[in-house]
Amino acid sequence: MLFNSYAFIFVFFPLVLAGFFLIGWRSARAAAGFLALASLFFYGWWSLEALPLLLGSICMNYWFGLQLTPQDGRTDRGRKRMLILALTVNLALLGVFKYADFFLGNVNEGLAEAGIAPLPLLHVALPIGISFYTFTQIAFLVDAWQGKVHERSFVHYVLFVTYFPHLIAGPVLHHAQMMPQFANPATYRVDTNKLALGLAIFSFGLAKKLLIADRMGEYADMVFHGVQGGTIPTLGSAWFGVLAYTLQIYFDFSGYSDMAVGIALCMGVNLPLNFASPYKSTSIIEFWRRWHISLSTFLRDYLYIPLGGNRKGEARRYLNLFLTMLLGGLWHGAAWTFVLWGALHGAYLTLNHLWVAKVRRHRPPSKWTLPLRWLVTFLCVMVAWVVFRADSMTTAMHIYKGMLGLNGVSMSAFSEFTIPYRKPEFFQTMFLGLFICLALPPTISLQRWVPMVPALAGRPRLSACVTVCTALVTVVLLGLSISRLGTYSPFLYFQF
């Protein structure tokens, strides 16, 4: 069940919302249980065969969390052994389902060179959302071991892990952000301000996905699939194809995140910020403070800092930074293209930090260099997106050659592909996407209106103007988006 489907928008979400508040009026605990069951139904709709794995993971990690909590009679050494066991089991499950065939495939290449018969591949289907709910629970286990977990409700834990707005493609949740909200009785009461703003944010996210991301995806797919099939991209086609994917992945993923935030806000829950206009960044350091913020925070807190962070010397700091991004790339998928994407961003961040420390010496940058810094950052991000999108290193190399002009220069972009008659739509959508990315505030800034609503009570004209304008834009975007419903168009991050 996709957020951008008739079944979700007109059946599932309205029924869940109504049931949540009706039950919550009588019992907050019962409403939390209802929402947990609805979330499990949502997941089971996607993949019924993967539901037992999710339930088993929840029960196992809840038990581990109880055992890891500091108590009288439990030694630190024993709890540390339990933590190692818990992390090993979780990472082993993730490894088997996500990386086993990748590992075996690479081993088989070496065996083939040695003339040895290959090992059989497992061909295990990847359970949807396993990367997200595994990371969410790993953070919970580490915090339980550190004595930071105080919530003991099994119902709230199940809801924390399975909460359907985030379950399939994030954001990566932290128990400290979510558990207090689930324990707050006010969460289970209708808040009309949050409901209205939640619907507005959801509509903006839906429009990002259907009106921009999917249209850009047609051209990105045309170029990358064409190259995969043997078409050689020229200079213009390669650059425009990569730009199309650059816009597609941002509007697709940030659109999903906006929709998740909007859905949760309708139910009185605030999800963490996941995007903050990342393509406005003027450095790679800044980009990673704005892009997929929940994953960046997880990698910093549970990988970079445990590796030593910046506490063990400058050389170790840069090594830790590179390794963190390398593993962050591998988290996205079992392929060398994702490893290279992580390595590129690891190298980018290392060079950026070296530049700040050694050349700029931590002085603030000149405002006159801002356009150049933005351009260099944006181009670096685009270059890395090539391997992230490509199905193989061969495809990526052909795209890179095209971007360097080594495959020739055509006066007409996309002339070597099959749908040049749709170029006007491409350029219109491209310019609209760039304008939204670079000139407008992020959709999530609408949340700032929630605490301001009471302050507008004494200014009825301003309040009415804000309400009417937001409502009109929401209705228009929702209408345009609904007109494009009906085709199967999953979000890109569902595959991770």
**Percentage of the chain lying above the pLDDT 70 cut:** 93
173-211 tens-digit pLDDT: 888 889 999 999 999 999 988 998 899 999 999 999 999
pTM of this structure: 0.92
Q: What is the pLDDT of residue 472?
A: 87
Q: What is the pLDDT of residue 185?
A: 92
Q: What is the pLDDT of residue 449?
A: 54
Q: What is the pLDDT of residue 458?
A: 59
Of the residues 156, 166, 174, 332, which is catalytic? 332
Task: Answer yes or no: 332 catalytic.
Answer: yes
Q: What is the pLDDT of residue 205?
A: 94
Q: What is the pLDDT of residue 464?
A: 66
314-369 tens-digit pLDDT: 889 999 999 999 999 999 988 999 999 999 999 999 999 999 888 877 678 788 88
Average pLDDT, the chain: 89
403-425 tens-digit pLDDT: 999 988 875 666 666 655 466 78
Q: How confident is the model at residue 273 (pLDDT cuts 50, 70, 90)?
A: confident
Mean pLDDT of 266-290: 94
Q: How confident is the model at residue 436 (pLDDT cuts 50, 70, 90)?
A: very high
Q: How confident is the model at residue 72 (pLDDT cuts 50, 70, 90)?
A: confident
Say if residue 139's pLDDT is above 90: yes
Angle between helices 235-266 and 393-403 (to 10 degrees): 120
> What is the longest distance spanned by two Cα atoms in the chain?
81
Q: How confident is the model at residue 124 (pLDDT cuts 50, 70, 90)?
A: confident
Q: What is the pLDDT of residue 415?
A: 67
Q: How confident is the model at residue 446 (pLDDT cuts 50, 70, 90)?
A: low
